[in-house]
Chain A
Amino acid sequence: MRALLWLASIIAASLLAFMLGGYATDVYRKMLVWIALALSYNFLFGVAGQIAFSQFAFAGVGAYGVVILAHKLGLPFGVALAGAIALCSLLAFIVAVPSTRLEGFYLALATLAFAQLFLVVVNEGGDLTGGTGGIAGYRLPDVFGYTLRGPWYTVVLVLLVALTLHILLRLERSSFGRACRAIKDNPAVAAAMGIDVRRTKVITFTLTSTLAGLAGAAYAYVDNVINPPVFGLDNIFLLLFMIIVGGMGRPAGAMLGAVLLYLAPFVLEPIVGHAYLVLFGVLVVLAILFQPKGLIGLIDRLVDRLGPEQRA
């Protein structure tokens, strides 16, 4: 039954790719990448309670990694992708080991510094990273003779979201996920329960950062262009807000938040201009004050009221 539901959702989301017009497709694709990023960030921040500002930097490592390896150094695509992901994991691990020792917001600032360092490297990277102009003029090579273009690439993005969601759900429901939540609630108690706090934190950070890298690698072929501004600081705030507004620690909340906050500017911007960002800020403050469970919590309550018999 559950497998059927997954399949149906994937097919429905993929079908959408074949029906949308050019602009809608473009927005849809970028939204899918945001959803993938929001999902992994939700696990890191919402489930495990680590506030890190490096999610986009790792997406950047994935994107730049695969493009440089495949198109600048000419490695076969599969090798390049694997290499980029491995690079992401390695870097994430190196960052995680020392910085997960830090508490609360100090981790945020340490990872923020890492994110800034990444931008400096990319901007000053000369021909290898294309400097501030980034890299363009490459294309996704054929995979086993199949050309993944147009709507079919959108399907790839749908599968990326499904894969990310699947991995994270499995993880969350395992003992590992429970350990993460326990650490978030109270690290001392978790340690007393016999949970290896450091190890759990390092694994969580490395895994979610690697998933971010995967999403970044997928993003690299959305427009076939990569450049530094996309992986900058502005976006990490938006990602954080998506989780808070959608509902911390709930994958459905993260997805809801990502969809709403990604699409909102396209609708609001022509009406209120830049003021939509003020609106986002207000929304975040209101969510934390009055609805800490986010929109998904609100929906839960609504569902409860409408049809309590439907909930097991």
Chain B
Amino acid sequence: MARTRFASALAFATGFLLSAAGAYAQDVIKIGVITDRVGSGKFYAEPVTRGIELGAKMINEKGGVLGKKIQLIIEDDQNKPDVSAAKARKLVDDGVIVIMSNTGSPATQQAQTVSLETKTPHLTPANSADTLTTQLDNPWFFQTGPLASIQLATLMTYTKSRGFKKVAIVRDNSALSQSFAESFRKGLDGVGIETAVEEVIPQGTTSAVANLQKVRAAKVDAILQAGILGPEMLQFFRAYQQLGMKEPILGSYNLSIPAYLTMAKDLMEGVVFVDAYDETKPEAKAFRDIYVKEYKEEPSSLPAYGWDGIHLVAQAIEKAGSLDKEKVRAAIAATTGFSGAIGAKGSSWGFRNGGRSGFDPQGAVVRLIKNNQHGPVVHSGQK
């Protein structure tokens, strides 16, 4: 008793509370969300989180899961890996059944050490790095974001269909961009397309002219754009325009972030990019209508990831029939044929053959940017 009081006093003095949450005796279902409201991951983390919030709200309006309402506990990790792990602990202490990670891949990676140790189901609805499910053998972790390798393969089939033989990769020096470029390079090797040159536009640069001159001099058939930092990619498009280049630009799914469209207005006409969203898909339409009604604006594809993610989690809990974390984990792992707003028409999510990365290999699409808007799908899947 005295010991407990001593400990509480200490904990109080240092400003954080002891874990006291019982995970089972609750009348709500707590689901933890790790987002980034202020840091470098805000551009993609916040829209995804919004989709989760909207999804949870809709699920609750329809009566919740197992007769209980979903309660989201949202924590901000500022896209810092060490903070992300700490916040994951906090969520576990708060008694969440599932953690959803929406920020950068390094942060999600470090948070995984917590889900592994505390045996908590952990899902990233939008992270795309292939290494998330390979670097750690963590049976509690699942990924439904479009793997860089799948994006790439889709882009590759499109590239091949256009007859490109020699391409350039342009990226920046951020973590995500580097991992995009790496899987691009590997994939290109695999299908026998030559990477003539790889250019890095570093953060804080004042001109990308030198980089694009090298690309121009390499006389490539197309440019694979793997950058994710807005200001640096703006420089890319500016230099491209300034040098009067005409090579087709093929982008990663990061170009589906709407902020680029206003930032690089009029510069991205005709650019194609990989996405996992087809507005003409019925599920996507349904999602869009609800989203527009709620937020009075057109959604990009990002909130749809969160929307699907929370629905997948809810479905798994329903199927598990209990809030036991192991049962929920097993139910998530057994998910097959989940059809959501994300993914090409006819594709679905599922964890096949014990895999923990559930994005449909045929689920990615290639879209065209037209009139400063994300335009129609011009290619779908890897066929």
B165 is an interface residue with CB less than 8 A from chain A: no
A271 at the interface (CB under 8 A from B): no
CA distance A27 to B77 in the complex (A): 13
Identity of the chain B residue whose Cβ is nearest the Cβ of A263 in the assembled complex: B15
Contacts of A263 in B (CB 8 A): 14-16
| Bound-complex Cα distance A228 to B104 (A) | 13
Tell me which of A23, A120, A228, A230 has the highest count of chain B C-beta atoms within 10 A of its own C-beta: A23
The smallest C-beta distance from A110 to any residue of chain B, in angstroms, reads 19
Given contacts A26-B89, A223-B82, A229-B106, contact A133 B179 (CB under 8 A): yes
Cα of A121 to Cα of B76 in the assembled complex, Å: 29
B92→A230 contact, CB < 8 A: no
Give the size category of B's interface with A: 35 or more
B109: A residues at CB distance < 8 A: 133-134, 136, 225, 227
Which residues of chain A in 1-49 are interfacial with respect to chain B, using CB atoms and an 8 Å cutoff? Answer: 16, 19-28, 30
How many angstroms between the C-alpha atoms of A263 and B13 in the bound complex? 11
Q: Are B17 and A133 in contact (CB under 8 A)?
A: no
Contact B135–A137 (Cβ < 8 Å)? yes
With A27-B16, A227-B109 known to touch, is A131 a contact of B182 (CB < 8 Å)?
yes
- In the complex, the answer to whether A22 meets B16 with C-beta atoms within 8 Å is no
A270 to B353, CA, bound (A): 41
Contact A132 B11 (CB under 8 A): no
Q: For the complex, is B19 an interface residue (Cβ under 8 Å from A)?
A: yes
Segment at the interface with A among B46-54, B170-178, B288-296: B170-178
State the CA gap A36–B7 with chains docked (Å). Answer: 23
Q: Across the interface, do A133 and B131 meet the contact criterion of CB distance under 8 Å? A: yes
Cβ-defined partner of B129 (8 Å) among A21, A26, A133, A273: A133
In the bound complex, how far is the Cα of B104 from the Cα of A227, in angstroms? 12
Does A147 sit within 8 A of B, measured CB to CB? Answer: no
- In the complex, the chain A residue whose C-beta lies closest to that of B20 is A21
> In the assembled complex, which residues on chain A have CB atoms less than 8 Å from the CB atom of B137?
137
Query: A274 on the interface (CB 8 Å rule)?
Result: yes
A112 to chain B, nearest CB (A): 13
Q: Are B179 and A131 in contact (CB under 8 A)?
A: yes
A-contacting residues, B1-60, CB 8 Å: 3, 6-7, 10-11, 14-20, 37-38
Q: Is the beta-carbon distance between A259 and B14 smaller than 8 angstroms?
A: yes
Chain B residues with CB below 8 A from A222, complex form: 82
Residue count of chain A within 8 Å CB distance of chain B:
35
* Chain B residue at minimum C-beta to C-beta distance from A267: B15
How distant is the Cα of A137 from the Cα of B137 in the complex, in angstroms? 7
Contacts of A134 in B (CB 8 A): 81, 106, 109
Q: Which residues in B have their C-beta under 8 angstroms from that of A273?
A: 37-38
Chain B nearest CB from A288 CB (Å) reads 25
Shortest distance from the beta carbon of A240 to any chain B beta carbon, whole Å:
18
> Which residues of chain A are near B17, meaning CB under 8 Å?
21, 24
Q: Is B90 interfacial (CB 8 A cutoff)?
A: yes
Question: Is the pair B86, A137 in contact by a Cβ cutoff of 8 Å?
Answer: no
**B136 near A: Cβ within 8 Å?**
yes
Answer yes or no: B154 CB below 8 A from chain A CBs. no
- Using known A-B contacts A20-B18, A227-B109, A267-B15, determine if residue A123 contacts B136 with beta carbons closer than 8 Å: no
B113 on interface, CB distance cutoff 8 Å: yes
Chain B interface residues toward A at CB < 8 A: 3, 6-7, 10-11, 14-20, 37-38, 76, 79-82, 85-86, 89-90, 92-93, 105-106, 109-110, 112-114, 118, 129, 131, 135-137, 173-176, 178-179, 182
Contacts beyond the supplied A132-B106, A222-B82: 18 A-B pairs with Cβ under 8 Å: A16-B7, A19-B6, A26-B89, A27-B16, A123-B178, A131-B175, A131-B179, A131-B182, A134-B81, A136-B110, A136-B113, A223-B85, A225-B110, A225-B113, A227-B110, A227-B175, A259-B14, A273-B38
A to B CB contacts below 8 Å, 30 in the list? A16-B7, A19-B6, A19-B10, A19-B18, A21-B17, A21-B18, A26-B89, A26-B90, A28-B14, A123-B178, A131-B175, A132-B178, A134-B106, A136-B109, A136-B110, A136-B113, A137-B135, A137-B137, A223-B81, A223-B85, A223-B113, A223-B114, A225-B81, A225-B109, A227-B106, A227-B110, A229-B80, A230-B80, A230-B81, A259-B14
